[in-house]
Amino acid sequence: MNDQVSRSGDPVEAADGAEASTFVVGVGASAGGLEALRDMLGSAGSDCALAFVVVQHLDPHHESLLAELLGRHTSLSVRQAVDGERVERGAVHIIPPGRGLSIRDGRLNLTDFAQPRGLRRPIDDFFESLAIDQGRNAACVILSGTGADGSAGLRAIKEHGGLAVIQEPETAKYDGMPTSAQATGLVDFVLPPQEIIESVRQFFEKSAPGSGGQALARTVEETLDDICAVVRTTAGHDFSGYKKSTLGRRVQRRIQVLDLPDAKAYLRHIRSRPDECEILFRELLIHVTRFFRDPEHFRTLRRDVVRPLVHDANSEEIRVWVPGCSSGEEAYSLAMLFAEEVRQQKRSIDIQVFATDIDERMLRVARNGVYPHSALADIPEGMRDVYTVARDNASFQVSARIRDMIRFSVHSLVRDPPFSNIDLLSCRNVLIYFDDKLQSTVLPIFHYSVRPGGMLFLGPSESLGRSDHLFHPLDQQARIFERNDSRPEYPLQLGGPLDDRRARRRPPERVDGPATRVGWSNNEATGRILEAYGPATLLVTAQGEIIGSTGKLGRYLEITPGEHGAHYAAAIARPGVREAISSVVHKAGRSTRRAISRDLVATSEFGRQVFDLIAEPLSDRTILLVFRERNRFDPMDEDDFEDVESSDSHMQSLEEELRATRARLHTAVEELETANEELKSSNEEMMSMNEELQSTNEELATVNDELKDKVEDLSVANSDLSNFFATTTLPLVVLDMEGRVRNFTKAIQAIYPLRSGDRGRPLAEMTSRIAQDDAVLAAIDAVRRTGERREERVEDPDAERIWNLIATPYRTRDDRIEGVTLVFSELTDALRLEGELKAEGDRLRLALDVARMGVWEVGADGRRILFDRTVAGLLELDDQELPFEEFLVRVPDASRAEAETALRHQEETTLPFALTFDFVVAGGSRRFVQMVGRRTRGPRGPRTLGILYDVTEAEEARRVREIMLHEMNHRVKNQFSIISGIVRIAGMSAATVPDLVSGVTARIGALARSHNLTHQLPSDRSLTLKDAVQSAVDPYQGHAAIRIEGPRVEVASEALTTLSLLFHELATNTAKYGVLGPKDGTLSIVWTATETDEIQLDWLERYDTPNVAPPDEPSGFGSTLMQMSAAQIDGRIEVERTTNMRRTRLIYGQDV
């Protein structure tokens, strides 16, 4: 009776495969639902492992705030459902406005509504898909709301083994939906909202894998037969032929709902409680059905079966049987089909539809033919208006024409004799609940029942099984079969011991006072005694209502009341008995003593009976009336008529009673009149109040309209705000005066891990990523107290991120402080950049300072040139800026044009340039500077900037170097001249080449020595004459005693070469001819300074042995050279010779 059933063939198997232990709770709510949802979800602990899907009737044109509103009251995570989203434990998924919701494989799907707005059943739709998808792991909860949405879905949930819970109708603002759901008789729990979640949780805890569910299943299996037996005895229906798995699961569910430990306990329970038996009976009979279920099959049925039947009918009646009709939708569907077909073919045929079921309660529903408005959608459009009548907003009724076609009756397929000569038997989705044995019992019954050539219409997943010889398929797809012509076998196993038990099934609501009744009928012997030998007896209530009877009462009462009649003893008593009953009952009702009325005569049409009437009040306030016969029964004679009159005493008691009654009536009338007056004045008041209310109402309507506009504005503003909060990268939290989080932007999660559920929690409880939590709290406190903004620098524990916290008071429009707003602006990058820039700047400054470089800049207008301190110092300027013209004037002419072009950025180039010029500084002296710069493009136009540094020293050094080079060049060339002179002179005097070479070498050696002298000398000491002499004789040390003596006489470097050469010639001669060579003797070199500032140096050789003859004078060149050398230093040479000595005297001016 449900699509899932048709696919799987077993209504509960589908869910078994789902191993997900997530339990999904579908919650349906409508008007007044918010409050109920809040109470319900608010009771959930944060560890709640259930997943909730809330389906609320929502206005499709308004954004829903439901998620937000609920989120504040529960620790569960509440969000609006998104297409394809997986349901999660601990989450509440809320239907979005304007969409339907279904679930498949644990994922939510948003659907578009197929029906117009009034006919939508989003709760039913979702529950049905939930039942199919989650099976035993599903639960449905129906909360406050009008209408009946949810009831059909609840049926589906139950059919698939799920749990059904409704809000206690008394606690619901609108009890329509819960009451309608309760009317199905399938609800497991009826609870106030705040207890719902706990019950559902406990229920699922037990059925969760590993919680003993399987053990329970085993015990259920073991005791199933016993349970079936109890149901059979009490409810009169035998379920033992039903599928064990289905039965077992439903019994197990009851055990879980009742929170019983095992099936044995349940067996005890069900034995002691007949009402539990009723509940189980109903549970076992859960059928989900709807109008025209499997519409395409119905179309086939109409085309292939109904149409030909109507067409071929020869004014006989067409008989249709619908066994297992449940709430009647299918029977009505068939009736409508036939009616429609008859109407279209314009025939007039009697259609008789027998709709039967074992559940009287369902049959009552079926007979009424009243269904929720939502079911209208299932009826084909053309038939809706013709065959249904709208009752009110929530429901419709099948029209009387159709209802008259159908006979609903209690009938058991397996127990009661079947209908016969049936043209069409429609038994859909009933066989699937039967096991094979029962099926193969039932199908022959169908065969018997259907006339030859008649049709059998089964559910989509049902088949003939082993009985396929009885019918052959007409349309396999639509499950339409035609009966074979074979002889019917009347199923003999029908009836049997079950028959007498049927009478014992009683609707439970009729049971009143079962304890008393048991005594009247529980023993055959006592029953027999009472019936045959005891006095006629009535048991009545204090009011005289008959509860029970025994014995032959026909003489005293007009009819014999059955067990169930609500008859008053006085009302049905025969003449003569009536009054007595009234009075004794009256008497006995007031005391605990027995009352007796004697010698009464009961007159019936057969005769008269004299009797005493005894009334005995019993402990349970009922009264036992015993008719004790005084005489034998006196048969009626024609002449006895006058004896009918009642006795005087009786009249008197009646009159007495009448008087008392009148007095009571009088009092009552007075009281009534007073009350009436009061009511009249109340009415007046009510009228005026009504007027007031009316005007108030009008005002309220106006206010309402205004508020609507306001709400519209607010929702726009709210949407803007929530967008801002969600998208801004600025971390922001708003706190109330108690420091609890009121709102925050998404970006705050960098600092506080706030989630939407944290609204309302104190910020102090949050773990932050800030090291200075205390400082933050102190700042919040300060702002709260002072109302002044505070700033605080905070960072994370690793000091990697730094924020500037600005805490400002949150002011309402009337300027009250209602909280604190915290805004964090991140400084990490800025501070790092600042630090880097500073370090960079310091490095640059250091480099510039060390290099003594200054910075200059020419602005965009080119009118001024700016310097830093270094440049100002270098150029000896007082100011750190100079008009450009003034600067140019001080640049030398040669460089001016170039400088102007480069500095005034007249050229479109950004290549660097360098200028070197000697700048005229303040004192008029010059300073060589180099300017290096480049043109840049800044935001305010081009500018030229660069550095400037002093190159005076470098320039000076360069000049000195050039001069030195020049001088060196000169000297080298001079040396060459000297050497070539030496060679040429030596060439003139030397006899042999070796002579030449030694002469030249010796002289060059002298030159070199004199050169060494000038260069080896420490710079702080000037050359002396002694140095020159010493240098000349050094090569000859050891040849003879040499005495060198004289005052310190400085020798100018110009004269040094000449002197060295001179002393060299002297030493050479001495070595060649004198004491340093062939002769023995001593050499003394002594000098003095004369008064005329001349130096007189004597080079004196003393021979040890006198010369025989004066030796040969050396070659003229030597002496010429000496003479000339002396002349060069403005001196002269005098030579004196004896045989004992040779003295060469050099005299020269010291100023040389």
Partner 1 sequence: MDKMSSGAEPANRGIVLLCEDEPIVALDMKLIIEDAGYGVAGPFSRVSAALEQVGTPLVAAILDVRLRDGEVFPVAEELARRGVPLIFHSAHIIEDDIASRYPGSRYCPKPIDDKMIGAALRECALPNA
Q: Nearer to partner 1 by C-beta: 529 or 1124? A: 1124
CB 395 within 8 A of CB 371: yes
Cβ-count burial of 510 within 10 angstroms (0-12 exposed, 13-18 middle, 19+ buried)? exposed
Q: Which two structure tokens, joined as six digits, stand for 443?
A: 């199908």
**Partners of 1141 in beta bridges:** 1102
Interaction of residue 968 with partner 1, rule CB under 8 A: no
Q: How many CB atoms lie within 10 A of CB 886?
A: 11
Picking from 162, 158, 140, 137, the residue whose alpha carbon sits closest to that of residue 149 is 140
Residues 1080-1139 that bind partner 1 (CB under 8 A): 1117, 1120-1121, 1124-1125, 1127-1130
Amino acid at 102: S
Which 8-state DSSP code applies to residue 302? I
- Three-state DSSP at 849 gives helix
Q: Smallest distance, Å, CB 984 to partner 1?
A: 5
User: Stretches 119-127, 349-357, 622-630, 975-983: which one binds partner 1 (CB under 8 A)?
Assistant: 975-983
The only residue of 141, 1061, 1066, 1083 in contact with partner 1, by rule CB under 8 A? 1061
Q: Smallest distance, Å, CB 1053 to partner 1?
A: 12
Which 8-state DSSP code applies to residue 255? H
Q: Which two structure tokens, joined as six digits, stand for 840?
A: 């960079």
Q: Smallest distance, Å, CB 1129 to partner 1?
A: 8
Per-residue x/- mask for partner 1, residues 983 to 1022, rule CB under 8 A?
-xx--x--------------x-------------------
Q: Smallest distance, Å, CB 970 to partner 1?
A: 5
Q: Nearer to partner 1 by C-beta: 786 or 977? A: 977
Can you tell me which residue has the tokens 């899932």? Answer: 4
User: Stretches 137-145, 462-470, 543-551, 982-990: which one binds partner 1 (CB under 8 A)?
Assistant: 982-990
Q: Smallest distance, Å, CB 955 to partner 1?
A: 24
CB 1032 within 8 A of CB 1088: no
Interaction of residue 973 with partner 1, rule CB under 8 A: yes
Distance CA 138, CA 178 (A): 18
Q: Nearer to partner 1 by C-beta: 542 or 979? A: 979
Site size with partner 1, rule: CB under 8 A: 32
Picking from 466, 446, 467, 465, the residue whose alpha carbon sits closest to that of residue 456 is 446
Q: Smallest distance, Å, CB 1044 to partner 1?
A: 23
Which 8-state DSSP code applies to residue 543? T
The only residue of 715, 925, 977, 1140 in contact with partner 1, by rule CB under 8 A? 977
Q: Nearer to partner 1 by C-beta: 730 or 1127? A: 1127
Picking from 894, 819, 906, 823, the residue whose alpha carbon sits closest to that of residue 858 is 906
Picking from 164, 232, 229, the residue whose alpha carbon sits closest to that of residue 199 is 164
User: Stretches 362-370, 456-464, 587-595, 968-976: which one binds partner 1 (CB under 8 A)?
Assistant: 968-976
Q: Smallest distance, Å, CB 1057 to partner 1?
A: 8
Q: Smallest distance, Å, CB 1134 to partner 1?
A: 18
The only residue of 980, 1022, 1037, 1088 in contact with partner 1, by rule CB under 8 A? 980
Distance CA 400, CA 851 (A): 114
Q: Which two structure tokens, joined as six digits, stand for 797?
A: 């524990």
Q: Nearer to partner 1 by C-beta: 642 or 1151? A: 1151
Interaction of residue 1050 with partner 1, rule CB under 8 A: no
Q: Smallest distance, Å, CB 995 to partner 1?
A: 18
Picking from 567, 570, 618, the residue whose alpha carbon sits closest to that of residue 592 is 618
Look at the chain and count its residues.
Answer: 1152
Interaction of residue 981 with partner 1, rule CB under 8 A: yes
Picking from 34, 297, 253, the residue whose alpha carbon sits closest to that of residue 165 is 253
Q: Nearer to partner 1 by C-beta: 833 or 988? A: 988
Largest CA distance in the chain: 235
CA angle (596, 599, 602) in 5-degree steps: 105
Interaction of residue 870 with partner 1, rule CB under 8 A: no
Q: Smallest distance, Å, CB 1061 to partner 1?
A: 6
Q: Smallest distance, Å, CB 1148 to partner 1?
A: 12
The only residue of 208, 596, 610, 979 in contact with partner 1, by rule CB under 8 A? 979
Picking from 915, 920, 926, 929, the residue whose alpha carbon sits closest to that of residue 852 is 929
Q: Which two structure tokens, joined as six digits, stand for 181?
A: 């759901």
Q: Smallest distance, Å, CB 878 to partner 1?
A: 46
Q: Nearer to partner 1 by C-beta: 449 or 1058? A: 1058
Distance CA 111, CA 23 (A): 22
How would DSSP label each residue in 391-429?
A: -SSSEEEE-HHHHHHEEEEE--TTTSPPP-SEEEEEE-S
Q: Nearer to partner 1 by C-beta: 293 or 1003? A: 1003
Q: Nearer to partner 1 by C-beta: 720 or 1054? A: 1054
Q: Nearer to partner 1 by C-beta: 727 or 969? A: 969
CB 172 within 8 A of CB 80: no
Distance CA 114, CA 100 (A): 9
Q: Which two structure tokens, joined as six digits, stand for 918?
A: 């000697």
Q: Smallest distance, Å, CB 1149 to partner 1?
A: 11
Q: Smallest distance, Å, CB 971 to partner 1?
A: 8
Per-residue x/- mask for partner 1, residues 732 to 771, rule CB under 8 A?
----------------------------------------
The only residue of 199, 743, 1058, 1069 in contact with partner 1, by rule CB under 8 A? 1058
Residues 6+ apart with CB under 8 A from 531: 550, 551
CB 551 within 8 A of CB 534: yes
Amino acid at 649: S
Q: Smallest distance, Å, CB 913 to partner 1?
A: 35
Q: Nearer to partner 1 by C-beta: 966 or 1043? A: 966
Q: Nearer to partner 1 by C-beta: 94 or 1006? A: 1006
Q: Nearer to partner 1 by C-beta: 404 or 1054? A: 1054
Picking from 1118, 861, 899, the residue whose alpha carbon sits closest to that of residue 989 is 1118
User: Stretches 201-209, 453-461, 765-773, 981-989: which one binds partner 1 (CB under 8 A)?
Assistant: 981-989
Q: Which phi and psi (to 5°) does residue 557 adopt?
A: -120, 155
The only residue of 171, 1031, 1057, 1070 in contact with partner 1, by rule CB under 8 A? 1057
Q: Smallest distance, Å, CB 969 to partner 1?
A: 7
The only residue of 847, 976, 1037, 1149 in contact with partner 1, by rule CB under 8 A? 976
H/E element holding 966?
A: helix 952-989
Q: Nearer to partner 1 by C-beta: 438 or 1032? A: 1032
Q: Nearer to partner 1 by C-beta: 702 or 969? A: 969
**Partners of 611 in beta bridges:** 600, 629
The only residue of 542, 610, 827, 978 in contact with partner 1, by rule CB under 8 A? 978
> Cα dihedral sign for 190, 195, 201, 205?
negative
Interaction of residue 1051 with partner 1, rule CB under 8 A: no
Amino acid at 877: L
User: Stretches 259-267, 353-361, 976-984, 1098-1106: which one binds partner 1 (CB under 8 A)?
Assistant: 976-984
What separation in angstroms does the CA of 83 have from each of 138, 372, 1099? Answer: 20, 29, 128
Give me the residues that bind partner 1 (CB under 8 A), please. 969-974, 976-982, 984-985, 988, 1003, 1054, 1057-1058, 1061-1062, 1117, 1120-1121, 1124-1125, 1127-1130, 1152
